[in-house]
Chain A
């Protein structure tokens, strides 16, 4: 039965993973980051449980610096599908005055990593679906689809359960929780191709449009609101840009582009010379930085 295409096989595997978690875990949640991977996850979850609705809520970690268009899209999506949406912000972290451009990793740690832990603990979720893919980064390539976290949300790469066939052991010890990655075996191209094929709704920020940006240290940052402080030599320009990944707007670099349709975006991606994470400032520090962050509980 080799009649199935690679996308059909990936889709079937992801749906199988969603159903397995719902069958074996008590309180799952879908970590909804509003980006393209989350959009594909949500689309697969809808398919997995149709005609029922996905039997879990969506959780978004709002840093306070999300693109406005992302938040609008998030609310419209939850409303359109009639799904429960939970939004969590680390209020204490926000009050501490940490800003996206604060030195070091304090911002990402407080507003993303800590915020996620707080939310998972607050609601008592025992399994969280995440959009991580193994092609993103080297330590991800070794992470299991069902990835266990200790009570402190830490990942122990040397102590992972063997994962054979499509048999997932979802049994947890007290206090443990699971991160589940249904898109583990997808690549960036697979994700784009699937979005194209299935007409998966997407935040418009992925498509090129004239947007207000400043050039800073070789990057284009979008001026999404008046909170982004401009340096003396900086001025806001209107350029046709799009985003390859989405996060907090002061930390996410835009790409100059005129690709206003999905096939055009895919063409640009395929002809690009930089990897997806290049635009993410959080991944830049040190070769083993992602492994380190994950051990500390970063998703």
Chain B
């Protein structure tokens, strides 16, 4: 049974008209384990009559069976959804709840309080207009309270309700409440949070959640629900310039070319002058179409289709912006990154970044510092682990139109996607553009790779030998180079051990150093391919991601991944350099195959099984492959 039942019964049309003009408030609730979050939300749902009788009956049964209130109704059970959570008695993921009153519809992101689930809180906060931070009146401010406040402020949720819960367990003491409020305001000021409303509540008893209750006459402010119903929603006090990330180009016939997307900020009318970014071209809005119908005006938050007066090139990922106030374009940024995956963020590794409607390749390098979320201290870091937050340089492979996250969640917020697993592994907030890239342009030189290669009658390429230590990479690569050299080819062999004596002598064997090791070698190899050489790289290169990165640096067809395959047992039995023995004795840390992983190639151009092939035969296979694909051409050897 819903609220306003009298009006519903007597005049449904009037009720519908009233509800048609409701606004929408999205908020997040955060608190530590046992602060009573689920109870509070359960209470809100119950008291706004969002619970039906059959659900209530199920709740009563469940309360007796698995409740934590000794058989009394346990409102938390209304919201602890997944079976796994019920068993553990905790909430493990973001859940969205809905309730409404005659003034507003509410969407609540319910997120768990344990430290390891920071990623869920960040997810919930990303769309929230307001945060309800729960504090247990008996415990006061905890480390978790600081953490949650920091995260919501980071994500730009600046309206805070401090709900001091379990007042019933402190004898409804005003002084306890006042102390907590004072401490919280002092702390929140450090984060730049000032829009704070503190409310003393008892989620179990219901006091000050919806109704006032008789227990705290000293509190004269609004109840939680009254506050949520009336808090102003407008984010911006000044009109914002128009921004629309183009989501889809609508071309049903040659006469119509529409650009569809959701307006990120500002408003648009036919006749407005727009700039397309990053190209910079301008045109005027011909039509504003909403749901197939022409509209005189559209505003932020609406999904529309625009047509332009001129034929300009616009595609998905471009930004349409007010011509007179268009944002800057850049490809290097300083960004805050929140890491959300078990596999750490490694500087130098390439990822995909989705920002607005654009997906680009990106590298993080370097990490400036990690933020100790409990103390807000900045500490040096070489990687980001699950739930770490760091400030990093972010380099994209193509320029984008952007705004700092503080000014625009749409143009400044991004997700990071792993290129191999396709998982969302992190989220980030653009802080500012770094100007380096604009000053260091790639020089277009007149003598190019093609010209250099022609002079030496060969097709440059990159032969990438990967495999366990002792698999035979260097032996085979050495033989291949000798054969190529004998044919008069211009070659260079980059060997792992040799490079570590010079260019990479500052690097060790941790995961981040291995990534950087490969990045440098791949970049050197790229320059050498550009110089027209046949480059042989003989490196363990244990991670798929880095080999993929190396492949992406050269042109299609230029990269030949040679998997020198042998079993760990066979490599260990050979142990030419005595390294496996050392690793087994624990004298060598992070040794590939022993205590550091080797990710075998899935589709190498060539696989050489060195338990079956002798080095000479293996080298012949490589030469054979190069002829087969035309990298070394019989016709070219030679007429000189």
Spell out A's residues near B (CB within 8 Å): 1-13, 15-16, 19-20, 22-23, 46-53, 134-135, 138-139, 141-142, 157-158, 160-167, 169, 171-173, 184-185, 187, 189-190, 193, 196-197, 263-264, 266-267, 270-275, 278, 287-288, 291-292
Contacts and interface: CB of A to CB of B under 8 A. Distances in A.
Given A164-B123, A272-B1, A169 B417 contact: yes
Contact of A271 (B2, B79, B105, B252): B2
A190 B106 CA distance: 12
B302 A167 contact: no
Nearest to A184: B96
A95 to B, nearest CB: 34
A52 B54 CA distance: 44
A172 B421 CA distance: 9
B422 interface: yes
Contacts of B1: 270-273
A92 to B, nearest CB: 31
Interface stretch (B20-28, B473-481, B508-516): B20-28
B16 A167 contact: no
A10 B122 CA distance: 22
Given A2-B234, A158-B84, A161-B424, A266 B55 contact: no
Given A12-B303, A16-B303, A134-B98, A271 B292 contact: no
A46 B92 CA distance: 37
B73 to A, nearest CB: 16
Contact of A20 (B16, B119, B247, B267): B247
Given A6-B105, A275-B55, A165 B410 contact: yes
Nearest to B4: A270
Nearest to B110: A141
Interface string B604-632: 00000000000000000000000000000
B250 A2 contact: no
B82 A1 contact: no
Interface string B427-452: 10000000000000000000000000
B638 to A, nearest CB: 44
A207 B148 CA distance: 48
Given A16-B262, A48-B303, A185-B98, A193 B20 contact: yes
Nearest to B62: A287
A291 B104 contact: no
Given A9-B301, A134-B98, 9 more contacts: A4-B23, A139-B82, A141-B95, A157-B82, A157-B84, A162-B415, A164-B427, A270-B1, A275-B55
B81 A263 contact: no
Contacts of A135: 97-98
Contacts of B261: 16, 19
Given A167-B414, A169-B422, A271 B8 contact: yes
B93 interface: yes
B133 to A, nearest CB: 20
A67 B305 CA distance: 38
B252 A53 contact: yes
B316 A23 contact: yes
Contacts of A22: 248
B357 interface: yes
Contacts of A164: 122-123, 126-127, 413, 415, 424, 427
Secondary structure type dominating chain B contacts: mixed
Nearest to B250: A52
Given A47-B292, A172-B422, A272-B52, A139 B81 contact: yes
Contacts of B417: 169, 171
B98 A19 contact: no
Interface in B1-39: 1-2, 5, 8-9, 12-13, 15-16, 19-24
Nearest to A137: B81
A193 B8 CA distance: 13
A49 B251 CA distance: 10
B119 A162 contact: yes
Given A53-B252, A142-B82, A291-B83, A189 B292 contact: no
Contacts of A138: 79-82, 95
Contacts of A271: 1-2, 5, 8-9
13 contacts: A1-B234, A16-B303, A134-B97, A141-B97, A158-B84, A164-B122, A165-B127, A165-B409, A169-B417, A169-B424, A266-B12, A271-B5, A288-B86
A48 B262 CA distance: 11
A237 to B, nearest CB: 25
B276 interface: no
Ranked nearest first, the 3 interchain pairs of A and B with the lowest CB-CB distance are: A50-B292, A138-B81, A47-B291
Given A162-B424, A193-B20, A272-B1, A134 B83 contact: no
A270 B82 contact: no
Contacts of B409: 165
Interface string B118-148: 0110110011000000000000000000000
B260 interface: yes
B365 to A, nearest CB: 23
Given A6-B24, A142-B81, A162 B250 contact: no
Contacts of A273: 1, 52-53
B299 A4 contact: yes
A51 B83 contact: no
Contacts of A171: 352, 417, 422
A119 to B, nearest CB: 25
B100 interface: yes
Nearest to A3: B299
B256 interface: yes
B340 interface: yes
A185 B410 contact: no
Contacts of A190: 105
B92 A158 contact: yes
B68 interface: no
Contacts of A50: 289, 291-292, 305
Interface string B403-421: 0000001100111010001
Contacts of A264: 12
Given A173-B422, A263-B16, A288-B83, A278 B52 contact: yes
B309 interface: no
Nearest to A276: B52
